[in-house]
Amino acid sequence: MKRTTLLAAALAVLAASGAQPAKKTTPQKVGTVSMSGYVGQRYADCINRRVKPENIDTLISVFRLQDEKGGLWASEFWGKWVQGAIGMYHFTQDPELKSIVQQAEDRLMDCQLKDGYIGDYDTGHQLTGWDVWGRKYTLLGLIKWYQESGDKRALKAATRLLDYTMGQIGPGKKSILDCGAYVGMPPSSILEPTMFMYQITRKQRYLGFAKYIAQELNRPGGPELITKANVPVARRVPLKPGDLWYGNKNGQKAYEMMSCYVGLLE
């Protein structure tokens, strides 16, 4: 009897609570939120001991030299670091961090060539190795700073770099899938900043380039990211005996693959 009574009471409470309208919540603005305790201290340590002390000149040096001829990816480091710094500035509104990011952006933009190129590969080796992959991170670093600060010079630099890239890649030019390893997934991940540029400018040429990349990512002989979405990564483009892991025939690279999916989602 007691169990029946308790069960009935519990059901009544659940029914009553379910009948109440859901409470409306208002998302807190980033500037009104702070972290304390262990997590807050570790976050502050990351900013003060890792992000702020970064040697900007070391990150920028590869863009000044532009002498890469092999398959290295040093041009990704500036973009990865600066995106983290921008996110931390967005959260903290730390004026010192803002100054550091602005210096990093200015020094990078000073490396842009007249044709719009920003990268570390020499002219004869552009569109090989990790060149376009690096351009992706450069574009993200420029675009996100424009979105955060309104720095129009950053948007202009991103526009020139993307327009230059679009002049090299596409129908009648070099295929995006032939511009890097892993069945062309690293260079194709430039889809994400391309969509950001379209969202900002609404210029159809960026949407057109994005559609081209999306089509290439799913065509037979490529990574087929949509057709094979439910196929385990290790079985999508299986390596044959004698094929190099670090080569264009290997489609079993989840990191670059996810970067392309991020672009497709945009």
pLDDT in tens, 150-187: 999 999 999 999 999 999 999 999 999 999 999 999 99
Least trusted range by pLDDT, from 31-35, 39-43, 130-134, 229-233: 31-35
Domain membership of residue 86 (yes or no) is yes
Domain membership of residue 140 (yes or no) is yes
Average pLDDT over residues 53-71: 93
**Which of 168, 191, 219 marks a domain boundary?**
168
Domain membership of residue 8 (yes or no) is no
Residues 234 and 120 in one domain: no
Residues 96 and 124 in one domain: yes
Rounded to the nearest integer, the mean pLDDT of the chain is 91
Domain membership of residue 240 (yes or no) is yes
Residues 133 and 183 in one domain: no
pLDDT confidence of residue 23:
77
The structural domain count of the chain equals 2
pLDDT confidence of residue 31:
72
Q: Percentage of the chain with pLDDT > 90?
A: 77
Domain membership of residue 48 (yes or no) is yes
Residues 41 and 157 in one domain: yes
pLDDT confidence of residue 14:
47
**Residue 130: pLDDT band with limits 50, 70, 90:** very high
Q: Percentage of the chain with pLDDT > 70?
A: 92
Cα gap 239→249, rounded to integer Å: 7
Domain membership of residue 228 (yes or no) is yes
- Assess whether pLDDT exceeds 60 at residue 17: no
Domain membership of residue 232 (yes or no) is yes
**Which of 136, 168, 200 marks a domain boundary?**
168
Residues 156 and 205 in one domain: no
pLDDT confidence of residue 146:
99
Residues 151 and 40 in one domain: yes
Residues 101 and 222 in one domain: no
Residues 163 and 200 in one domain: no
**Residue 236: pLDDT band with limits 50, 70, 90:** confident
Residues 160 and 180 in one domain: no
Domain membership of residue 61 (yes or no) is yes
**Which of 144, 168, 192 marks a domain boundary?**
168
Residues 156 and 183 in one domain: no
Residues 83 and 155 in one domain: yes
Structural domain range at position 82: 36-168
**Residue 13: pLDDT band with limits 50, 70, 90:** very low
**Residue 9: pLDDT band with limits 50, 70, 90:** low
pLDDT confidence of residue 118:
98
Residues 147 and 203 in one domain: no
